Amino acid sequence: MDFTVASGAGGRRIVVARGPIVEGDAQRLRTALQGADGDPSGLRTLALDSMGGSVVEAFRMAEVMDNAKVATLVRAGASCASACAQIVFLAGTYRTVEEGGRLGLHACSRSGDATPVPLCHEAIAQHAMMRGAPYGTISAFMYLTPPGQVRWLDAEDSDCWGLTLWPPGSNRGINKPGEAPPCILHGAPPKKPAR
């Protein structure tokens, strides 16, 4: 991934991560976060735009984030898929998807092989659950979407399925880990027709 420090909301410096997740990204992230500003609660923001990559390195990045107090964000026009969505995005203390941003989910596979890897699915679903995301949501989307395909969730879908975790008072998605996602409680709402 390429890590840059950019101006975010209110002029606060955030880290923007783009491109595939490759070996060494955890260390590059650790370094980049040193240039970011914390919000009033000390959280630094990591904006993601990646189609995924190394699952092992994504887990290493999550460890860095655990120690650095990081909120994740998918900005309008950005996509975060595969290991980016299923591991790095979910490692955020708060995690949000702006209108026009999207998350992409699918099954794990070994590089160059389209065979799903159940142990990888389980590790990712456990990681999600430990961070307050619904185990069943992540597990189901991975098992139902083969490698090589992507199930895209826009901001509304990401909220509805419980993948976002908004700061208190945001009135979006879920606001505390372990809350049942609206799509599980009430079913997915019908999509509005495109204009």
Q: In this predicted model, what pLDDT tens digit does every residue of 153-192 receive, in sequence order?
A: 999 999 999 999 988 888 787 666 667 777 777 666 656 5
Domains and CATH numbers, the chain: 2-186 (3.90.226.10)
Q: What is the mean pLDDT of residues 131-159?
A: 90
Question: Cα separation of 79 and 131, whole Å?
Answer: 21
Q: How confident is the model at residue 87 (pLDDT cuts 50, 70, 90)?
A: very high
Whole-prediction pTM value? 0.91
Percentage of the chain modeled with pLDDT above 90? 61
Q: In this predicted model, what pLDDT tens digit does every residue of 25-60 receive, in sequence order?
A: 999 999 999 999 998 889 999 999 999 999 999 999
Residues with Cβ < 8 Å from 42, sequence gap 6 or more? 69
- Strand spans (E) along the chain: 2-7, 13-18, 44-49, 70-74, 79-81, 95-97, 102-105, 151-154
**pLDDT at residue 100 in the model:** 97
Q: Judge whether 91 and 72 are in contact, CB under 8 Å.
A: yes
**pLDDT at residue 190 in the model:** 59
